[in-house]
Structure 1
Amino acid sequence: MSQSHPLSEDQVAGELRKMTAFIRQEALEKAREIQLKADEEFAIEKSKLVRQETAAIDTLYEKKHKQAAMAQQITRSTLSNRTRLRVLGGRQELLDDLFQKAREKVTSVAGSDKKKYQATLQGLILEGLYALNEDKVAFRARKKDYDTAKKAAAEAVKEFKKNVGYEPTVTLDESEPLPEGSAGGVVIVGGQGKIEINNTFEERLRLLEIDALPAVREALFGKNQNRRFYD
């Protein structure tokens, strides 16, 4: 059986140095591992935060872009509506002025040319006779037109008889004359007073405005005049 010899102080010191160096080396390696792990986790967390912030910035930018686009659209729509209203208002003023001049022209017809006015009344009365097609018909006129209207009625009866084959009785209803401020024309009454055909100049012009307005607009402003304001 061999006998062990005690280590000298130098040997003990050397062993301690080796153990210390080994422990230090192990600690350094462990520290490097911890550092690498920490750097990796930091990089992952940093990348995650960057992605989150980037997504948040993109979302905010998209929201602001939509808001700006919406504001621009509203502004454009508002300006377009204002422009459209100004243009339509100007057109309506032009049309109103046009029809007002037509009213003034119509009003002057009755007093400027008696023969022409009588022929016009004849046509208006004849139109009423055709529409009613009755044996007895009455008509109303302005007091100052009574003589002219009676002559016009007589000629209308002749033409009606010639075209239809019988002669209706047409009388002037003096109980309810048309207003003196009226532009002229007549109101034909039939159906035992229950049917009235308004052939005054004001009424015919009003109907003309309604019927002719699209054609007048097209003549003045062209086709599809309002389409560009709504597209």
Structure 2
Amino acid sequence: MSQNHPLSDDQVGQELRKMTAFIKQEATEKAREIEIKANEEFAIEKSKLVRQETDAIDTAYQKKFKQATMSQQITRSTVANKTRLCVLGARQELLDDIFTAAEQRLDEAAKDKGRYEGVLKGLILEGFYAMNESDLQIRARKADHGLVRKAIEAAAAEYKETTGKEVRATIDESDDLPEGR
């Protein structure tokens, strides 16, 4: 038997254990590197998913906030409109009551010719001041034409006295006011 360098079984076993330890060491280090890289990739992916979900939650919140704001504005507007309608309804009711009362009082005042003529003169004079025109037409009930003519003369005289301006007013007989009012 030729022996070059014979290794004893102990030496072979020792070499095998060294090689096995080296391979295990290399495998452990490689496993640690893989684990570290996997943990880094996991952290990156987790961060990305958290960011995406946060963005989705923010977007959903924004949308719901806008919807809530719009709903609140609609409700506020609806309440304001209902309030306006109530106020307008109450105002109209009050005006109707005032017109009814004025109509009744006007009917009573028309029975007292002297007082009624004074009221007509005052109304016509107020119209002269408001219109500030030199030529006017006045509408009246057919039954009141005589009293209105007298009131026009008295109002025109007072208007001229206070303003120094002439005013000419006539009754529009083609378009009489209805008798009931």
Quick one: which amino acid aligns to residue 152 of structure 1? K
Match of 2:7 in 1: 7
More helix per residue:
2
Q: Percent identity?
A: 57
Q: How many residues get paired?
A: 164
Written as runs of structure 1 = structure 2, the 5 A alignment for 1:58-97 is: 58-97=58-97
Contact 1:141 1:149 in 2 (8 A): no
User: 2:114 — aligned with what?
Assistant: 115
Cα displacement string for residues 76-121 of structure 1 (whole angstroms, at most 9, x for unaligned residues):
211121112111211121122112211221222111x122234456
Q: Is there any run of 5+ residues in structure 1 with no aligned partner, and where?
A: 134-138, 184-231
Write the distance in 2 (CA, Å) between the matches of 1:103 and 1:92: 16
Alignment of 1:4-83 (within 5 A): 4-83=4-83
Which structure 2 segments of 5+ residues have no match? none
3-state SS in 2 of match to 1:181:
coil
Contact 1:142 1:178 in 2 (8 A): yes
1:143-222 maps to which residues of 2 (within 5 A)?
A: 143=143, 149=147, 152=150, 156=154, 181-183=179-181
Question: TM-score with structure 1 length normalisation?
Answer: 0.55
Superposition CA RMSD, Å: 4.0
Segment drifting more, 55-64 vs 94-103:
94-103
Residues of 2 paired with 1:50 and 1:177: CA distance? 83
Work out the CA distance in 1 between the residues paired with 2:58 and 2:180: 73
Alignment deviations for residues 10-68 of structure 1 (CA, whole Å, 9 cap, x no partner) = 21122111111111111111111111111111111111111111111111112112211
Structure 2 Cα separation of the partners of residues 104 and 6 of structure 1: 144
